[in-house]
Structure formats: C-alpha cells, structure tokens
Chains A and B, each alone.
Chain A
Amino acid sequence: MPEGFDVKWAAVVIGAGVGLMAIVGLFMTSWFLSPKRPSEDKGVAYESGIRPGEFRWSQINIRYYIYALLFLIFDVEAVFLFPWTITFLKSSDIVFYEMLVFLGILLFGLAFAWRKGALSWR
C-alpha cells in the first residue's frame, strides 16, 4: 500500500459513517419523540382513502423502462468522461475534439430518439 492510503480513505469512511449516522439519528429521534397511538385506520397507506385490496402488486407501464435504459447508456458515457477530464487539459488540442466526436455520436442518438418521438409520453 502506498503511503497515506489509510488516512485518505479513512476520511471517506468517516464521512460516509457520519452521513449514515445522521440519517439513522433523525429517524431514531422522531421515533423516540413521537407519540404512538396506533389504530387500524392509521395503518392504511392513504388515510381516509380507499381501503387497499388483496393484490399489493401492480404492473407499471413499460414506458418507464426506456428511461432506465437511456440512463444506463449515458451513465456508461460518464464513465469514459472521467479519465478524459484528468488528461485532456494537459494534452494537445486533438484530444478535446476526440471527446467531442464521442459525445457527438451519442447526442446524435439522443436527437434521433427525440425526433422519432420516443421520449414523448403517449
């Protein structure tokens, strides 16, 4: 292990731990402070609403899936941006245009999808 590895990542671990503790602490605080008088009506998802039926599972529209897929594609694109950001300022200009070509091809795909109406909600 290189020097300082422990210390640097210990900071990350401590930060993550503090964040987690903050969330858990807020939930615990509200749980301790809140008065608890449970009744059957309060347990319903929508109070004073329609009583839920037997089936607690419903199929959602397939259209949501396209947004998940598009998100995945641009997520992978972001992965390629990271190593580029570190190197491109220190390199020749052509490196900048390499990434522009990369982004341009993907933007063409997005524009194509938009034009074809794939992003509109019908």
Chain B
Amino acid sequence: MNGVEGSSVTDVAFWVVSAIAIAASIMVVTLRDIFRAALFLALSFLAVAGLYILLRAEFLAVVQILVYVGAISILIVFAIVLVRDMPGGGKDNHLKVVAATVAALLGALAIFVSYNSDFTNLDALESSNADVAAALTGTYDLDASNAVGDEYEDQIAVAPPEGAEGTEIGIFSNSTGSIGGLFIRDFVLPFEAVSVLLLAAMIGALALLRQRGEES
C-alpha cells in the first residue's frame, strides 16, 4: 500500500487476509482430494476479494465474490462431479520439474513488475485516457458530457476528495458510480457488445448440450 496512508487495523486485516489466501492456495495444490481442493480454491477467491476491498476497489471485490466465488467455483465443482473416478486425484507424472520452473519464472516476473511499477503515478494513465483516470481517482466530471443533460451534470460526478492535488488520497474513491458513469457515457457500444458476447456464450453452451443429446 505504497503511498496510501494505512492504519494498523487495515495492516492487520491485510496480513490476515493474505495469510488465508496463501494458505488456501497451498492447500489447493497439495490436497489429493480434488473436491476439497475446489472448496479451498473458493476460499482463496474470497480472500482475494478481501484484498480488493483493502485496495479500495469495492466494485471489483463484489465482482470477485459474485463471479468467482459464486459462479466459477460452482462450475469447477460441477466439472468435478461430472467426471468419473476423480476422488483419487491425477496420477503422478514426470512434469514436476517443468511445472516448478514455469511457476518460479512467473512468480519472479510478478515480483519484478510489482517492484518496478509506481502505482501512485497516474500521469501515464491520464495521458492515455483521461476519463478512465478520472474514474479511478474519483474526480469524474460530467461537464464535458454530451450524453447526459446539463441538469444532471453534478449528480454522477463524485466530489473530488479533499487534498485532490496529489492523486494518492482520492484513488479508487467510490469506483462503482464512476464505472457506471463510464458505461453510460463513453463506453456504450462496448457495454452493449458485452451482451452479445454473453448471448454467444449462451448459444455455445446450448449447442454443446444439443450435440450430446442427438448422439444418445
């Protein structure tokens, strides 16, 4: 939490949630019973949602709980019970060295990137897309809006927090409303395209089922 003033309570919460996430992740890869591993994966997702809350990304936390804890875990459990003879887990193979190497490289990459990024510097982001940066910093302003009438201009906008001179203090304040503002103003077409994407996913799922039904 570099650059953000944290209290001791949030520090304790951060360590507790991180410990739960790491412990659950270790259980996922070490347990032989794949069903219990899936349950620990859900716990790990829940702990990551806690980390998002500590990062002031409440919307992302809600999405994490709704989609990952609520739906992806269910899908994984369904996939397990649909497969025959799974309780014993997979057989041992000789790919342990390869897997360990790839995991170590990815971990090293993640550590390298997180040490070399300045997370409090939003200048680069602002130059690429001012609206997204404004939403992240809670200074979203509808003055420049065309889609929304003038009489509403001060409604969606989140008041810039005090001391908004530096972006550190205001980062991620009330991100949900700002994201909604972006949906209805700048990203209407991608937003509607998402529904077409979901429709395609639905039809694909139904097509899979029909194929199976016709075989039998």
Contacts and interface: CB of A to CB of B under 8 A. Distances in A.
A83 B183 contact: yes
B71 A57 contact: no
Nearest to B84: A59
B202 A90 contact: no
A88 B184 contact: yes
B78 A90 contact: no
A64 B87 contact: no
Contacts, number: 159
B206 interface: yes
Interface in B62-88: 62-63, 66-67, 70-72, 74-75, 78-79, 81-87
B10 A83 contact: no
Contact of B198 (A73, A82, A90, A118): A73
Contact of B195 (A59, A64, A83, A105): A105
26 contacts: A1-B4, A5-B56, A9-B13, A57-B85, A63-B209, A65-B82, A66-B205, A68-B74, A72-B71, A75-B70, A79-B63, A79-B66, A80-B194, A83-B180, A84-B180, A84-B184, A87-B177, A91-B152, A91-B155, A91-B156, A91-B184, A92-B147, A94-B147, A106-B198, A113-B206, A116-B210
Given A1-B4, A66-B205, A70-B205, 14 more contacts: A13-B13, A60-B82, A63-B209, A64-B78, A68-B71, A71-B74, A72-B75, A82-B62, A91-B155, A94-B147, A98-B184, A98-B192, A102-B195, A105-B196
The 5 closest A-B pairs by CB, nearest first: A83-B180, A90-B155, A87-B180, A105-B195, A69-B205
Interface of A: 1-2, 5-6, 9-10, 13, 56-57, 59-60, 62-66, 68-73, 75-80, 82-88, 90-92, 94-95, 98, 101-103, 105-106, 108-110, 112-113, 116, 118, 122
